[in-house]
Structure 1
């Protein structure tokens, strides 16, 4: 079983409006998903055939709706129930455009934080692989991911967040972090224009404490730096993108599945990329097609640099 942590889940509402522009009125159908990065990870893991337990904070009517949806998907609901209404996030997809409106998440109490940490301590040994994803709601200390990583120091912790929460989380020495180019540039405070600059920046961040780093480069594939500081370039096929939202989460799910099921690192990296690409080829968020994933595995190449 894999444990996923989503401290700031959301109802993800997606609109497809091809000619979207500001200062106009549109009518369109919406699609709602039990979201937040960790729940996207959970859903893809379940599709891959993995048993998944999900935790974090859920509250109010929105939290009840999310709870019902993840249980329908066969995911074990171990969320801490709070009095804070779970947030809603909106994505508007147009012709080669993506506009997102992300609520920050209502404040949770210190009592709720303590309940979560108590749950984590009591259940940590149920899973060898733990995925921590996304932002943190108000009321949670800035070093929460460092605390979680330190508690799980004997486990394989995959940390996928950004900004100060990533910087603090790295201090807990997670097994893997997965920034994208923009997140890496924000962490370093500088623009990375060339491949050499990207590689240098990735090494700089990795050296702050994480064991492995997977740098997502979108259509250009990814860079992986392992525990021995060996560097690998992952090349991916060109595809027609339908919805990129959730692709990074799907990639984390693929990596976690490979890791948890004893696959080689090459197999794990290919599965990670294939899951991310498959999600981008589908209208849904945090969804993969297993036949597509299998086909993509044959088209992804990895070269040592």
Structure 2
């Protein structure tokens, strides 16, 4: 089984207003609400790919109830810890040539909330081989909390994929996750300077590995990715028509987790990871993949040893 962790979930609300401008009154042409948060995007893709997956994290209030109800409608198993803190709402206004986002920070959690969640997580870890931890941390939570969770899971001999950013990434890697999946922006934050070539990528990755990351998968967008493990591997993907890149990183995490859980060879895991990201990019819906397309994409992805 795969367990996905979403510590800061949300109700994602997308308003479609073609001629949106600041300071005016509009009526949304279309509104879409869905259970959100990077970890839940991972969960959705894993479910679509036929994985045995359960979602956990911390939710609360009426918004938390809404997320639970809608995950049930999507046939997704969940074992969230329910706190008294209301789950946040995140808003995106999609216009013809722009997207405006308003993200709530959510309410602060208590120490007893965290202890109760940790107990629930460790119960799930006993039944899981792969655990993904994705997204931002709730308001007021210590930046080192992911490190604590990764260390707890590592003691059970299970593999953790950590996908976060900023200070929580720098602190989280100290727990020695099996894999992290940074993009260029996150590498620039780690390095404190712009990334303008493979030498800079390698320098940032070495910093992350020195801090504790076991393996690093760097996304290169349309150019594929580079995997830094026992050896450095370049994953090259075919050109596709892109409709929506939001959620493609989460989809790649899901593909890697499923390949790892299925016991595939590393090259096939990397192909599956990239193919899931590609399939999401061809959909207008975030966290949406088509298994048949994933299989076809995998046949056109190459993995080769890279010398940097």
Query: What RMSD in Å do the two structures reach over aligned CA positions?
Result: 1.6
TM-score, normalisation: structure 2:
0.93
Instruction: Render the CA deviation track for 1:3-57: whole Å, top value 9, x for unaligned.
Output: 1100000111223445544344443211111110111111110111111111111
Match of 1:288, SS state, is coil
**Deviation for aligned residue 1:114:** 0.9
The residue number in structure 1 matching 2:168 is 165
- Name the CA distance, whole Å, in 1 between partners of 2:97 and 2:249: 18
Match of 2:108, SS state, is coil
- 1:63-212 to structure 2, matched below 5 A, reads 63-95=64-96, 97-153=98-154, 154-212=157-215
TM-score, normalisation: structure 1:
0.94
The residue number in structure 1 matching 2:10 is 10
Match of 1:58, SS state, is strand
Contact 1:234-1:301 at 8 Å conserved across structures: yes
**Deviation for aligned residue 1:113:** 0.7
Contact 1:38-1:134 at 8 Å conserved across structures: yes
Contact 2:190-2:204 at 8 Å conserved across structures: no
1:239 is the counterpart of 2:232: no
Change (3 A) 1:192 1:58: same
Contact 1:33-1:285 at 8 Å conserved across structures: no
Contact 1:250-1:279 at 8 Å conserved across structures: yes
Unaligned 5+ segments in structure 2 are none
Match of 2:227, SS state, is strand
Contact 1:243-1:282 at 8 Å conserved across structures: yes
Question: After alignment, is 35-44 or 118-127 more displaced?
Answer: 118-127
The residue number in structure 2 matching 1:41 is 42
Question: After alignment, is 161-170 or 230-239 more displaced?
Answer: 230-239
Change (3 A) 1:96 1:300: farther
Unaligned 5+ segments in structure 1 are none
Match of 1:174, SS state, is coil
Question: After alignment, is 294-303 or 166-175 more displaced?
Answer: 294-303
How many residue pairs get aligned? The number is 303
